[in-house]
Structures are given as structure tokens and as C-alpha cells.
A = this chain, B = another copy of it.
Amino acid sequence: MKIVFATGNKGKLKEAREIFKGHEVLSIKDFANDFNPEEKGDTFLQNAVIKAEAALIHTNEDAVLSDDSGLVVPVLNGDPGVYSSRYGGEDGNDALNRHKLLQEMKGIEDRAAYFQCTAVLLNKDGSAIVKTGKCYGTIGFEEKGTGGFGYDPIFIPDGLEKTMAELTPDEKNALSHRGVAFRKIMEKSQ
């Protein structure tokens, strides 16, 4: 089966291709250069659906894949959540996002958090499979490590004493919330 992934992110594409073995995973950028739907949903699932439906409009293929991901901190009422990539401001970046989160967490003892990825495999006939992957951990007190991206330098996965940014790519992939969601979709779509 051909699957069009509603992302231009090369890291995500690589991850999807490794998991959806036996299928041809294409990027939406091969179909629409200006693909950039407004992620106006209130939840990861709503945003993943918005991306999948937008991608379906641009392709003539049978199936599109999308995901929406972020970091959830329960003590902050779920923030940064769907705003993870713009938490430090609309024109923000990873460093500003992390800085804001460390500021918000100052003096807070309950540092539990998790990365969540909700993935959608949407078919032209209006059917879909939705799966969610989570990676549980805690928010550190300072940045550590230079690998990964986003909140990785301040996220310590449960059972480890290193941040996500201190792991090797293979170690990180084994924990990946996106990988968990993709593998669950792969199993269900057989």
C-alpha cells in the first residue's frame, strides 16, 4: 500500500518508513509544496485529523498518515500540550519553549510529564485507525545533553537518569512515543 505521510519532517519520515516496512511511505511535500494546514484543534487527535484530511485533499492515494505530538505536564493542566512547538511564543523556538517551561516549573515539586503522539491512518473511503503512544518521565531542573530536539534536554524518561537529549538515537527511538503509535497502527492495519 502507498501511504502519504502528512509531514515534511525528514526525521519523522525516516521513522515511519522503518516501521511501515512493506509499504511505500511518501511525503505530502511530494504532492503539495505549500502544505501547511492550520492546526486549530484543541487536542492532539483533532490536529492529527485536520492534517490527515488536508493531506487527503492533495493526493489521489488511498491512505494518508498524520500525527500530532507534544509534551504534557499534568501539574500545568496539560501544558504545553498542543502548543508544545509554540509555547515560548508564536515566533518561538525550541530554546525559548524549554526556557518557558523551566520557568513555569520553578518551585514545583511534582515534575511528572509525558510525551504523547496521536497518529491517524485515514483512508479515502472515510475510515481511519487512530492510535496513541506515550513516553512517561519527569521534567529536569536544567538542560542536559545535545542530542534530539524540542524538550529532549529537560525530559528524563522514567527508569533512566539521563535526559532524552543524552540518549543515543537508537536508545531514543526505542522509547519514542511516535514509534509506539506507529507500531500500533501498523499492527491494526494488517
Interface residues of A (CB under 8 A from B): 41-43, 45-46, 49-50, 53, 116, 118, 122, 125-132, 134, 184
Contacts and interface: CB of A to CB of B under 8 A. Distances in A.
13 contacts: A43-B49, A43-B53, A45-B49, A45-B126, A46-B53, A122-B130, A125-B132, A126-B130, A127-B129, A128-B130, A129-B129, A129-B130, A130-B130
A120 to B, nearest CB: 8
Number of copies: 2
Contacts of A42: 50
A132 B122 CA distance: 11
Contacts of A45: 49, 53, 126, 128
Contacts of A125: 132
A45, A126, A127 — most chain B CB neighbours (10 Å): A126
A116 B130 CA distance: 20
